[in-house]
Structure 1
Amino acid sequence: MARSAPIDVLASYATAVYARDVDALLALYHQDVTVYDMWEQWLYDGQPAWRGMVEGWFGSLGDERVQVTFDDVRSTVTPDMATVHAIVTYAGLSAGGERLRAMNNRVTLTLVPGGNGWLILHEHSSAPAAFESGKVNLNRLG
């Protein structure tokens, strides 16, 4: 069976987040993943640590959903490793599908072959911060 493309992980990520499906999202990650997330904690080391963050995130949503989209996607692929980076938009949607808010992050993924596809071994998200104030800019246009 042919291995899927590394960028296919992005569509699976968006689907799992929209469904608030913890197990589907974590299935995209290597057991030994290291995540440099933009929020709260300095790093998440290993899938069990990342699970706690994902469960907390999804549990905080109530009846809202999160629509994830990726722009300016670029990738480099070798047989043993791939990198994917993009601008990701997280949009909060009401139970009725109305867009309530949105924010942008930059994301870089390092992937390794796993199963019939690729697994995220390292994830790093960021956004630019103003030098003088340290305020983070979560609006790509602003």
Structure 2
Amino acid sequence: MTTQLNPVTQALDAYAAAVAAQDVDGFVALYDDDVVVYDSWGQWQYSGLSAWRGMVTDWFGSLGSDTVEVVFADVQTMVSREVAFGHAAVTFTAISARGERTRSMTNRLTINLARNDDAWKIVHEHSSLPIDMETGAAIFERA
């Protein structure tokens, strides 16, 4: 997916690679120290890199021998000199040690990056799932 010199697509590529490798340090290196994340799981928001690192560590630790494939679709970006943002549909697929796809979900992701000393970092991330109005349940598959 890499688009040369596009910090958003570069961040998304690095995100997918870090998740596949369950590389906590590589994953959190994408984020600013003061990042604010509105995640779809567990709590309303994570403020600061330490809080986000804790969530990522727990997530990767919960996978056991499974790996997770991350695929971004319909990526849209806008980049200026100091800020960039993008949004996409992101599908997370768990793959067992035997290579079987065991579960999958798709949600919406928006990331905002800022450039500081020629390094781009994610300063805000927002993931969401639509809600079925009749049941109140999250919709995990894209229609």
Is the TM-score greater than 0.5?
A: yes
Q: Structure 1 length normalisation: TM-score?
A: 0.93
User: Which residue does 1:137 correspond to in 2?
Assistant: 139
User: Which residue identity does 1:27 align to in structure 2?
Assistant: A
The RMSD of aligned alpha carbons is: 1.5
User: Which residue identity does 1:88 align to in structure 2?
Assistant: V
1:4 touches 1:116 (CA, 8 Å); kept in 2? Answer: no
Q: 2: distance between equivalents of 1:17 and 1:115?
A: 26
Deviation string 1:82-105 (CA, Å, 9 cap, x unpaired) is 111000000000113221111001
Q: 1: distance between equivalents of 2:86 and 2:98?
A: 32
* Greater length-normalized contact order (CA 8 Å, ≥ 6 residues apart): 1
User: Which residue does 1:125 correspond to in 2?
Assistant: 127
Q: 1: distance between equivalents of 2:66 and 2:21?
A: 10
Equivalent runs, 1:77-96 vs 2, <5 Å: 77-96=79-98
| Aligned residue among 47, 55, 58 for 1:56 | 58
User: Which residue identity does 1:134 align to in structure 2?
Assistant: G
Displacement of 1:117: 4.0
User: Which residue does 2:16 correspond to in 1?
Assistant: 14
CA spacing shift, 1:96–1:130, aligned 2, 3 Å: same
Q: How many residues align?
A: 140
Q: 2: distance between equivalents of 1:127 and 1:42?
A: 14
1:92 touches 1:102 (CA, 8 Å); kept in 2? Answer: yes
Displacement of 1:69: 0.4
Q: Which runs of 4+ in 1 moved over 2 A?
A: 2-6, 114-117
Q: 2: distance between equivalents of 1:11 and 1:117?
A: 16
1:3 touches 1:116 (CA, 8 Å); kept in 2? Answer: no
User: Percent of aligned pairs with the same residue?
Assistant: 48
User: Which residue identity does 1:89 align to in structure 2?
Assistant: T
Deviation string 1:1-35 (CA, Å, 9 cap, x unpaired) is x9653211001000000000000000000000000
Q: Tell me, which stretches of 5 or more residues in structure 2 are unaligned?
A: none
Matched, 1:76 2:99: no
- Report the secondary structure of 1:6's partner residue: helix
Displacement of 1:116: 4.7
